[in-house]
Amino acid sequence: MTTAERSKANPKTADFGASLTFDLSRPGRRGVLLPEPDVPQAELPEPRFLRSDLELPELSQNQVVRYFLGLSRLNYGVDTGFYPLGSCTMKYNPRVNEDVGRLPGFTLVHPLQPQATIQGALAVLHQLQSALAAITGMDSIGLAPAAGAQGELCGILMIKTYLEERGESDRRRKVLIPDSAHGTNPATAAMCGFEVVTIPSDRVGNTDMAALESALDDGVAAMMLTLPSTLGLFDPNIERIAETLHRHGALLYGDGANQNAFLGRARFGDLGFDVVHLNLHKTFSTPHGGGGPGAGPVCVKAKLAPYLPAPVVEADGDTYRLATPERSIGKTTAFHGSFGVLVRALTYIRSLGAEGLRAVSENAVINANYVLARLRGAYHLPYDHPCMHEVVFSGSRQRAKGVKTLDIAKRLIDYGFHPPTIYFPLIVDEALMVEPTESEGKEALDAFCEAMLAIAREAKEEPELVRGAPYQAPLRRLDEATAARRPYLRWRAPAQGESA
Amino acid sequence: MIIPPDLRYTKEHEWVRLADGPSAGSGQAIGTVGITDYAQDQLGDIVYVSLPEAGKQLTQLAVFGEIESVKAVSELYSPVTGKVVEPNQALTDSPELINESPYEQGWLMKVRLADESEIHKLLTAEQYSDYIEREGE
């Protein structure tokens, strides 16, 4: 096939995305037939609450079903294929999680029911608290935060409150953050009013200990550290880092986004962390992406337990109750957080057991190192040593030939794979961050590696082909720059005679 | 990569150009600030830039704004100490000017310098060229 032939959009799906339900609308069409009312009609609300300018689309029921089913068939998810999106841990979500999560005892309870009638649901939360405490080596767990970033916010707010009560908050104004950190870390520290101080990585990609020592003084509140780092490296100095911080009266915050790498192998608490958040939708296989509910429990040492976000579940023998810790930073979500997600996470933990969780991290690390070994000849590996659960390549060799990392990612779509994370971490030029997770067997990893090797060859021999990708996707290369520069924030009906 | 010889550069990839003329040396010098061709190429398509308003005080090598591309958000560092005279309003609607013309239409702001001698702490074109060559390795 020539480049020109490939450049024609996939005919099966070519017109998708062009039409909206509004475009299919015809006046008077209805999706449901409502029965005649058999009760007296109520007064309509005040006219100011009634709007006639919404121009809602009018469609038949089968049009609506076909429209949305058609869109859903364009979806790519972990249920349709390999999804190596680095730092996001897009692992397979076992169906048993859904079986349990959909039990009527969990789905039909109401958060305002008397606690005596929801003892089973509270027992689940309490068991999950205990399981996460055992896994992380921390003393107390708050399940309320609805996502990783909210867990971070809670963690740093707790540190802030702790320092206030010790009378140290006026001078401890700084939070240290490595240059490889997730962007949420500095955002969290800044939101809590701290000054962010960036700590560089050393030559091998770990925390630069000399830079850390020189940044430390009695003005430092905490350091936020991701373990293993976003480079997929387990910092061998971690205990020394914790000890150094504590010597200066500062706390160590752990970003647990990468917990999948050492599940059942090491514990944040034993390594010297004071507070850590977990991402249940990453490590503990709850549904993930699309903006759906996540859960970012915050796990703390005893000295921070009084500040946990409310509620926490306390047990008195066989009786469970919701409690607000005495100096809680407050509520972060309505009611009890993402309860359905928490049920699924406990199901995952209980169905795998301790040995199963150890096998998760082992397979996640082996899979990432397999990809590292197969691709290191074709793609530059800036930190060239064995990795943990993810591997970060650089597209710098391909870039020298005029093919950017973005082009490689788009070309992977033609080979049927979700692209890896690109341009992160920021300290790697043209970064390509691959996280296979433990879910994939050797065949899937080989197919992905073959595609990556084929793209590396194409970048050398047929760079134009890679630069024009994707060819097989419903839509060709999207204009991300214009979408960001001049976003359409609201749909408007095209004027008469104008095309949509 | 274009590196005009008459500008001075920071290691964070900003440039400053001093206007010639009667004000030079009088404590009234106006400098124009932007990011380099290398910086715009590394960032990729720029979609938004956040600039200080006129009158804002700047400190040499301190953050004065943010620039966002399709890849990432980066901080902008002022090459000089002084006061903002005028941010480039055209960038609000057309941030792509920074990609298309980093040294002319894509300038970020004009600054009244507090101390012209600070310019000598910045890199010359030749030093900047060597610096980005080393950084690329």
Domain spans of chain B, in order of start: 29-128
DSSP state of A41: P
Is residue A367 within 8 A of residue A438, CB to CB? The reply is: yes
Q: What is the 3-state secondary structure (H, E, C) of chain B?
A: CCCCCCCEECCCCEEEEECCCCCCCCCCCEEEEEECHHHHHHHCCEEEEECCCCCCEECCCCEEEEEEECCCEEEEECCCCEEEEEECCHHHHCCHHHHHCCCCCCCCEEEEECCHHHHHHCECHHHHHHHHHHHCC
pLDDT of residue A3: 41
DSSP state of A490: S
Rg of chain A, C-alpha, whole Å: 26
| C-alpha to C-alpha distance for A196 and A273, rounded to whole angstroms | 19
Report whether the peptide linkage leading into residue A463 is cis, meaning its omega lies within 30 degrees of zero. Answer: no
The nearest alpha carbon in chain B to A483 belongs to B47
pLDDT of residue A6: 42
User: Average pLDDT, stretch A240-257?
Assistant: 98
Chain B CB contacts of A397 under 8 Å are none
Closest CA to A296 of A239, A257, A349: A257
Enumerate chain A positions whose Cβ falls within 8 A of a Cβ in B.
183, 404, 406, 423-424, 426, 480-481, 484-485
Please count the other Cβ atoms lying within 10 Å of the Cβ belonging to residue A367. 25
Closest CA to A357 of A306, A276, A283, A293: A283
Q: A304: buried, middle or exposed (CB in 10 Å: 19+, 13-18, 0-12)? A: buried
Chain A CB contacts of B47 under 8 Å are 481, 484-485
* Partner-chain contact B47 A484, CB within 8 Å: yes
User: Average pLDDT, stretch A225-236?
Assistant: 96
DSSP state of A201: B
Is residue A122 within 8 A of residue A115, CB to CB? The reply is: yes
Chain B CB contacts of A406 under 8 Å are 44
User: Average pLDDT, stretch A6-12?
Assistant: 45
User: Average pLDDT, stretch A245-250?
Assistant: 98
* Partner-chain contact A480 B95, CB within 8 Å: no
User: Average pLDDT, stretch A350-367?
Assistant: 98
Is residue A205 within 8 A of residue A383, CB to CB? The reply is: yes
> Fold for domain A357-481?
Aspartate Aminotransferase, domain 1 (3.90.1150)
Q: Does B1 touch chain A (CB under 8 A)?
A: no
Domain spans of chain A, in order of start: 96-352, 357-481
Mutate to test the interface with B, among A179, A196, A399, A485 (most CBs of B within 10 A): A485
Chain A CB contacts of B48 under 8 Å are 484-485
Chain B CB contacts of A480 under 8 Å are 45, 70
pLDDT of residue A143: 98
A164 contact partners, CB below 8 Å, separation of at least 6: none
CB-closest option in A183, A406, A485 to B47: A485
The nearest alpha carbon in chain B to A182 belongs to B72
pLDDT of residue B25: 55
* Partner-chain contact A481 B45, CB within 8 Å: yes
* Partner-chain contact A484 B96, CB within 8 Å: no
Closest CA to A227 of A188, A270, A179, A260: A260
| C-alpha to C-alpha distance for A57 and A28, rounded to whole angstroms | 10
Confidence check on the interface: ipTM exceeds 0.85, yes or no: no
HSE-CB of A230 using CA atoms within 13 angstroms = 28
User: Average pLDDT, stretch A160-175?
Assistant: 97
pLDDT of residue A270: 98
The band of A22, judged by pLDDT with boundaries at 50, 70 and 90, is confident
* Partner-chain contact B96 A481, CB within 8 Å: yes
pLDDT of residue B26: 59
Instruction: Select the more confidently predicted residue: B26 or A131.
Output: A131
The nearest alpha carbon in chain A to B99 belongs to A481
The CATH class of the B29-128 domain is mainly beta
Q: Judge if pTM exceeds 0.95.
A: no
pLDDT of residue B136: 65
What's the gap between Cα A156 and its chain centre?
A: 19
User: Average pLDDT, stretch A183-198?
Assistant: 96
Distance from CA of B57 to the nearest CA of A (A): 19
The CATH class of the A96-352 domain is alpha beta
Is residue A280 within 8 A of residue A342, CB to CB? The reply is: yes
CB-closest option in A404, A426, A485 to B72: A426
HSE-CB of A425 using CA atoms within 13 angstroms = 25
B57 contact partners, CB below 8 Å, separation of at least 6: B82, B83
pLDDT of residue A54: 75
The tens digit of pLDDT for each residue in A400-456 reads 999 999 999 999 999 999 999 999 998 999 999 999 999 999 999 999 999 999 999
The band of A498, judged by pLDDT with boundaries at 50, 70 and 90, is low
What is the length of chain A? 500
DSSP helix, strand, coil percent of chain A (3-state; round to 5): 40, 10, 50
Cβ-based contacts under 8 A for chains A and B:
22
The band of A500, judged by pLDDT with boundaries at 50, 70 and 90, is very low
What's the gap between Cα A367 and its chain centre?
A: 20
Q: Would you tell me which residues 45-64 of chain B have a C-beta closer than 8 angstroms to some C-beta of chain A?
A: 45-48
Closest CA to B98 of A415, A225, A368, A481: A481
The tens digit of pLDDT for each residue in A23-37 reads 889 999 999 988 998
Q: Which residue has the tokens 């590696």?
A: A449
Distance from CA of A420 to the nearest CA of B (A): 14
pLDDT of residue A100: 97
Q: A331: buried, middle or exposed (CB in 10 Å: 19+, 13-18, 0-12)? A: middle
Chain B CB contacts of A424 under 8 Å are 72
Q: Which residues pair with B65 in a beta bridge?
A: B76
CB-closest option in A406, A423, A484 to B72: A423
Q: Which residues pair with A276 in a beta bridge?
A: A254, A299
